[in-house]
Amino acid sequence: MLTVRNLSKNFGGVTALNDINFAISKGEILGVIGPNGSGKTTLINCITGFIKASAGEIVFNGRNIKGMQPHNIVNLGICRTFQIMRPYSSMPAYKNLIIPLYGPRARKTGGWRGGGRHGDRNIIALDLLEEVGFERESKVPYKLAGTLPTGYLKRLELARCLALNPDLLICDEVFSGLSMSEIASMVPLIEKLNKSGVTIIMIEHRLKELFKVAKRVMAISYGDKIIEGLPAEVMANEKVKEAYLGADEGV
């Protein structure tokens, strides 16, 4: 479904991504791990067009999407969440979802449960918020997004993507900043999405939770891909241990 070949990104003299290759096929969940500053978010930004890759190609459903505008990439079916949540602070939470439901992708494909094409978008938005775990009968969906705690904002990010009916969902650390119980309620949501046919790339620091959902994991360090494979293989790899824990200097 998505194939990334020889992807590199330089910021001035700094190499953020160096010759990254990977592929993901339809229906898969791929985990991407790596220490802080290893280039995970840069990788997402390159795939989704928010920054331009320096070299390489990104092929989605047989089409090279490198260099395309972010909104055009979204409309092909690749949706992403932001690690630092980007809600519309001055609007109530449910109004945040009117915008993706109004967009061309949702109108063409129908969006979440056809909400982009017909029906009252406000009702569909409330349904969608309930789906991601906003209590329907409470005041939470009507509160200004700027006043919501992190847990809800992460769900709101996810809901914005779901509104678009993504083919490929890229989650940038949706678990970070959440409590154990919040993560526990999020995991089934991700699994349910995957079962409904959405391919998912998950960038995550919470490895234990990630390995519950991701069957295949890729590790990055300083812009280089170290290894790709089953979670257990990746965690057993010496280079991954070194990247996370630092090299053993043999004191």
Which residues bind to other proteins, rule: CB under 8 A?
A: 48, 50, 69-71, 74-75, 79-80, 82, 86-91, 95, 98-100, 102-106, 120-122, 160, 163-164
Nearest to other proteins of 123, 232 (CB atom): 123
Shortest separation between residue 146's beta carbon and other proteins, angstroms? 9
Task: Provide CB contacts within 8 A for 128, sequence distance 6+.
Answer: 97, 112, 113, 115, 159, 162, 163
Residues 166, 66, 57: CA angle, nearest 5 degrees:
110
Nearest to other proteins of 35, 103 (CB atom): 103
Shortest separation between residue 205's beta carbon and other proteins, angstroms? 21
Count of residues in the chain: 251
Beta-sheet pairing, 14-24 with 63-64: unpaired
Q: Which of 239, 238, 194 is nearest to 212 (CA)?
A: 194
Nearest to other proteins of 163, 190 (CB atom): 163
Structure tokens at 250: 């043999």
Shortest separation between residue 43's beta carbon and other proteins, angstroms? 16
Shortest separation between residue 71's beta carbon and other proteins, angstroms? 5
Nearest to other proteins of 86, 239 (CB atom): 86
Nearest to other proteins of 163, 217 (CB atom): 163
SS3 150: helix
Nearest to other proteins of 75, 221 (CB atom): 75
Contact indicator for 45, 230 with CB cutoff of 8 Å = no
CA dist 144 and 235 (Å) reads: 41
Shortest separation between residue 157's beta carbon and other proteins, angstroms? 9
Shortest separation between residue 18's beta carbon and other proteins, angstroms? 26
End-to-end CA distance of the chain: 47
Shortest separation between residue 181's beta carbon and other proteins, angstroms? 27
Q: Based on C-alpha coordinates, what's the Rg of the chain?
A: 18
Write the burial class of residue 248 (CB in 10 Å: 0-12 exposed, 13-18 middle, 19+ buried): exposed
Task: Provide CB contacts within 8 A for 250, sequence distance 6+.
Answer: none
Amino acid at 223: G
Nearest to other proteins of 139, 195 (CB atom): 139
